[in-house]
Amino acid sequence: MPSHASTTAAPTRVDADLAYQRCINSRCAATLPVDRAVFSCPECGDLLDVVYDWDRLPVPSRLSDFEAKWSRRLDPLCSSGVWRFYELLPFAPPDRIVTIGEGQTLLRPSDRVARYVGVDNGNLLLQYEGMNPSGSFKDNGMTAAFSHARMVGARRVACASTGNTSASLAVFCSATEFGFKAIIFIGSGKIAYGKLAQALDHGALTIQIVGDFDDALMRVREVADRLGIYLMNSVNPFRLEGQKTVMYRVLEGLGWEVPDWVVVPGGNLGNSSAFGKAFQELKHLGLIDRIPRLAVINAAGAQTLDLLVRSHGMTWNSGLPDESISRAYYDRLDREQIRASTIASAIEINRPVNLKKCLRALEVCDGVVRQVSDQEIMDAKARVGAGGLGCEPASAASVAGAKRLREEGIIAPSDRVVCILTGHQLKDPTATVAYHSADQDEFDRVLGSRGVKRAGFANRPVVVPNELDAIIRTIGLYSDAPAPG
């Protein structure tokens, strides 16, 4: 068990042996210094972790010490909901940190969503990451990766994106004064309008390639390698360090009590990987006494994780997963030219780069995986919206997944469940408007083609003649109707 310092003050510099990078493959376990930016193991090509020597680092002895930092709002290290937890991700010297005030997010109970999912009132909580400056959880990871980029002297930063990573990257480049230049790769027609608008408006060089996210990611890795550009995708382990803090804020929102379940959508599997690491480290540090269960939810049109784990039994296996399973699956995708396809465009990913780290998180958190249809996603999204916190389709996969697990009896009504709402409703107005539209053609064009057949929770606009009596009659009918459940 590591020793705890009584102070919460950040160290003024980080010694090389206090934080370093290590290959996740237990057979390799190569290490390299924290100030290198290579994003895959130079020995074997596997993923890298950021590792700390907790025995020699000053970690507060109680989680509530982090909460106390809220009162020092003028200090950027305290007003950031990421860097408030500095001692739990101490890889960067404090004077290198790049922050735009990310992570000031909200954990809110929603009884309307609790009823929809089927758990007791008060037991369903929504962690609303749409409140971040760029409107999605990505800012948590981006502040960490940008701080690392500044540490290593990078200027040009790039990512492939289904939309939110590029939006966040563009915001960080334009909102800070460190000379960062944003280069983003997107697949053709694969990005929701709200997100594309952000990339363009914030001045990123936006390169649209023929293909989907998986193609764009392969290409940006090649380009970044060739040109020495800093890579901002979640294969970058520093991003995941920032994303750990979503879980710290969930615990903080619960008065430092551990929930029974954390349910998160799964795309490239950065969040699930980061959450597993966060809980593993907190347990190691003695700051929590148990780890919540993790549910990772795929969209049915992008269900690689679900297929590999549930149909093919792939596991972390203490650092040595049987990679022939995923290789055979990816070969099949190539052979049969299978492309990911879901209305939840943010998770329209067939080759999740963090697959192995996610398998590890599932082991740490006694996790489960499910896939949900676009119909379930859109219905859950409408229920979330009616409950007051708007989210984009991918985010609603968490609520749809919780409902599914409740129906299967895996989640109990008395369980306390936290669903992560990863991105804001305004990211993808097209999907939302189509669901609520009275125009069948619009519904069919956007959603019908995805297998969504009904809009059971639609709130359709009412067409009324421009006459006072007709308008008053309509409002009367609306006022007399029972409140929706």
Q: Does 269 bind ligand PLP (CB under 6 A)?
A: yes
Q: Does 390 bind ligand PLP (CB under 6 A)?
A: no
Rounded CA gap, 258 and 290, in Å? Answer: 7
In the complex, minimum distance from the CB of residue 78 to ligand PLP, in angstroms, rounded to a whole number: 26
Which of 78/294 has CB closer to ligand PLP?
294
Among 127, 236, 350, 395, binds ligand PLP (CB under 6 A): 395
Q: Does 271 bind ligand PLP (CB under 6 A)?
A: yes
Q: Which residues inside 320-349 make contact with ligand PLP, applying CB under 6 A?
A: 346-347
Q: Does 389 bind ligand PLP (CB under 6 A)?
A: no
Q: Does 276 bind ligand PLP (CB under 6 A)?
A: no
Q: How many residues does the chain have?
A: 485
- Residue span binding ligand PLP (CB under 6 A) among the ranges 178-186, 306-314, 371-379, 391-399: 391-399
Which of 8/143 has CB closer to ligand PLP?
143
Q: Does 265 bind ligand PLP (CB under 6 A)?
A: yes
Distance of CA 312 to CAs 144, 172, 291, 320, 352, Å?
35, 40, 26, 16, 16
Which of 79/168 has CB closer to ligand PLP?
168
In the complex, minimum distance from the CB of residue 275 to ligand PLP, in angstroms, rounded to a whole number: 9
Which of 271/326 has CB closer to ligand PLP?
271
Which of 80/345 has CB closer to ligand PLP?
345
How many residues of this chain interact with ligand PLP, rule: CB under 6 A?
19
Q: Which residues inside 47-106 make contact with ligand PLP, applying CB under 6 A?
A: none
Select from 306, 386, 389 the least CA-distant residue to 342.
306
In the complex, minimum distance from the CB of residue 164 to ligand PLP, in angstroms, rounded to a whole number: 3
- Residue span binding ligand PLP (CB under 6 A) among the ranges 377-385, 387-395, 433-441, 469-477: 387-395
Q: Does 432 bind ligand PLP (CB under 6 A)?
A: no
Compute φ and ψ for 471, nearest 5 degrees: -65, -45
- Residue span binding ligand PLP (CB under 6 A) among the ranges 86-94, 215-223, 260-268, 431-439: 260-268
Q: Does 268 bind ligand PLP (CB under 6 A)?
A: yes
Q: Which residues inside 138-167 make contact with ligand PLP, applying CB under 6 A?
A: 162, 164-165
CB–CB of 58/86 below 8 Å? Answer: no
Rounded CA gap, 276 and 382, in Å? Answer: 29
- Residue span binding ligand PLP (CB under 6 A) among the ranges 27-35, 214-222, 392-400, 435-443: 392-400
Rounded CA gap, 216 and 208, in Å? Answer: 9
Q: Does 267 bind ligand PLP (CB under 6 A)?
A: yes
Among 394, 400, 402, 431, binds ligand PLP (CB under 6 A): 394
Which of 23/344 has CB closer to ligand PLP?
344
Which of 25/422 has CB closer to ligand PLP?
422
Question: Residue 343 corresponds to which tokens in the numbers above?
Answer: 């209305």
Which of 14/157 has CB closer to ligand PLP?
157
Q: Does 187 bind ligand PLP (CB under 6 A)?
A: no
Q: Does 365 bind ligand PLP (CB under 6 A)?
A: no
In the complex, minimum distance from the CB of residue 243 to ligand PLP, in angstroms, rounded to a whole number: 7
Which of 183/347 has CB closer to ligand PLP?
347
Q: Does 40 bind ligand PLP (CB under 6 A)?
A: no
- Residue span binding ligand PLP (CB under 6 A) among the ranges 59-67, 86-94, 183-191, 265-273: 265-273
- Residue span binding ligand PLP (CB under 6 A) among the ranges 22-30, 58-66, 151-159, 262-270: 262-270
Which of 57/346 has CB closer to ligand PLP?
346
Among 392, 402, 434, 437, binds ligand PLP (CB under 6 A): 392
3-class secondary structure per residue, the chain: CCCCCCCCCCCCCCCCCCEEEEECCCCCCCEEECCCCCCCCCCCCCCEEEEECHHHCCCCCCCHHHHHHHHCCCCHHHHCCCHHHHHHCCCCCHHHCCCCCCCCCEEEECHHHHHHHCCCCCCEEEEEHHHCCCCECHHHHHHHHHHHHHHCCCCEEEEEECCHHHHHHHHHHHHCCCCCEEEEEEECCCCCHHHHHHHHHCCCEEEEECCCHHHHHHHHHHHHHHHCCEECCCCCHHHHHHHCHHHHHHHHHCCCCCCCEEEEECCCCHHHHHHHHHHHHHHHCCCCCCCCEEEEEEEHHHCHHHHHHHHCCCCCHHHCCCHHHHHHHHHHHHHCCCCCCCCCHHHCCCCCCCHHHHHHHHHHCCCEEEEECHHHHHHHHHHHHHCCCCECHHHHHHHHHHHHHHHCCCCCCCCCEEEEECEEHHHCHHHHHHHHCCCHHHHHHHCHHHCCCCCCCCCCCCCCCCCHHHHHHHHHHHHHCCCCC
Is residue 5 packed enough to be buried (19+ CB in 10 Å), middle (13-18) or exposed (0-12)? middle
Q: Which residues of the shown chain bind ligand PLP in the complex (CB under 6 A)?
A: 136, 162, 164-165, 234, 265-271, 346-347, 392, 394-395, 422-423
